[in-house]
Amino acid sequence: MTGQPMVKAEGVHKSYGAAHILRGIDLEVRSGEVFCLVGPSGSGKSTFLRCINHLERIDGGRLSVDGQLVGYRQKGDKLYELKDSEVAAQRRDIGMVFQRFNLFPHMTALANVMEAPLQVKGESKAVARERAERLLDRVGLGDKMGNYPSQLSGGQQQRVAIARALAMEPKLMLFDEPTSALDPELVGDVLDVMRDLAESGMTMIVVTHEMGFAREVGDSLVFMDGGVVVESGHPREVLGNPQHDRTKAFLSKVL
């Protein structure tokens, strides 16, 4: 893997009012890698993901995706905020899958996956449909395309959500605890879909408590606490031989 990183964070800060949440995040996600982000509740993992696709503005530092600053354009040594339409264009290249699936309840699985390409890209129905069918097949739901979300299990809904994100042909996928709301017996199917996606070369940032997945599929792992990166490295190294007390304490609870 060469070339510029897919995501580069340099001293990223974010506050909500007086609460200083991200306190100088430095990290790089290489193109094609599965980058796992772990840490205790409240450490800022979701906040950081939301900064990457500009659902939140950062207050300091620099954050870029595929060589482009998120939300800003640089001219000389000055930064200019992008217009809403330019921010939307940046966000289009980033797929996001949340803990809760947020499918449109009044639409079938197929229609959910077709919706963004139709509305956002102005794609033809035939093209959007063909891709949606292929993606639903890929996530193992070829026989459920006509089901509404209420007629699908949590794991099936989450796989529809992954297909829906992929329908925009993103260059980066963000997963925020995609399996933590699922019954244990449904977790495996979702992780299988993510493993398949990783093997296809997708760049993925995965916030997860599934340490088995991180160990097997992850290329890098970052342990975050209190809004900073405490420790990072290959998942097997960090999980097997943590260097910092905070990492050790966290892992003793989740492993």
Ligand X SMILES: Nc1ncnc2c1ncn2[C@@H]1O[C@H](COP(=O)(O)OP(=O)(O)OP(=O)(O)O)[C@@H](O)[C@H]1O
* Closest by CA position to 222, among listed 51, 15, 30: 30
Q: Which CB atom, from 39 or from 178, has the smaller least distance to ligand X?
A: 39
| Cα angle: 197, vertex 200, 201; to 5 degrees | 100
* Beta bridge mates, 78: 75
Tell me whether residue 45 or residue 129 sits nearer to ligand X (CB atom): 45
Structure tokens at 40: 């205790």
* Long-range Cβ contacts of 156-160 (<8 Å, 24+ apart): 156/109, 156/186, 156/189, 157/101, 157/103, 158/97, 158/101, 158/182, 158/186, 158/190, 159/189, 159/190, 159/193, 160/101, 160/103, 160/109, 160/112, 160/113, 160/136
* Residue 91 interaction partner, one of ligand X, Mg ion, none, beta carbon < 5-8 Å per kind: none
Choose the one of Mg ion, ligand X, none that binds residue 21, judging by a C-beta under 5 to 8 angstroms depending on kind: ligand X
Smallest distance, Å, CB 238 to ligand X? Answer: 17
Q: How far is the CB of 246 from ligand X (least distance, A)?
A: 14
**25 in Cβ contact with 61 (< 8 Å):** yes
Which CB atom, from 46 or from 112, has the smaller least distance to Mg ion? 46
Under the binding rule (CB under 5 A), the answer on residue 112 touching Mg ion is no
Which of ligand X, Mg ion, none binds 80 (CB below 5-8 Å, type-dependent)?
none
Nearer to Mg ion, 68 or 102 (CB): 102
Q: Which does 128 bind (CB under 5 to 8 A by kind): ligand X, Mg ion, none?
A: none
166 binds, among Mg ion, ligand X, none (CB under 5 to 8 A by kind): none
Nearer to ligand X, 38 or 136 (CB): 38
Ramachandran area for residue 133 (φ above 0: left; ψ -120 to 50: alpha; else beta): alpha
- Binding string, residues 32-71; x marks residues near Mg ion by CB under 5 A: --------------x-------------------------
Residues engaged in binding Mg ion (CB under 5 A): 46
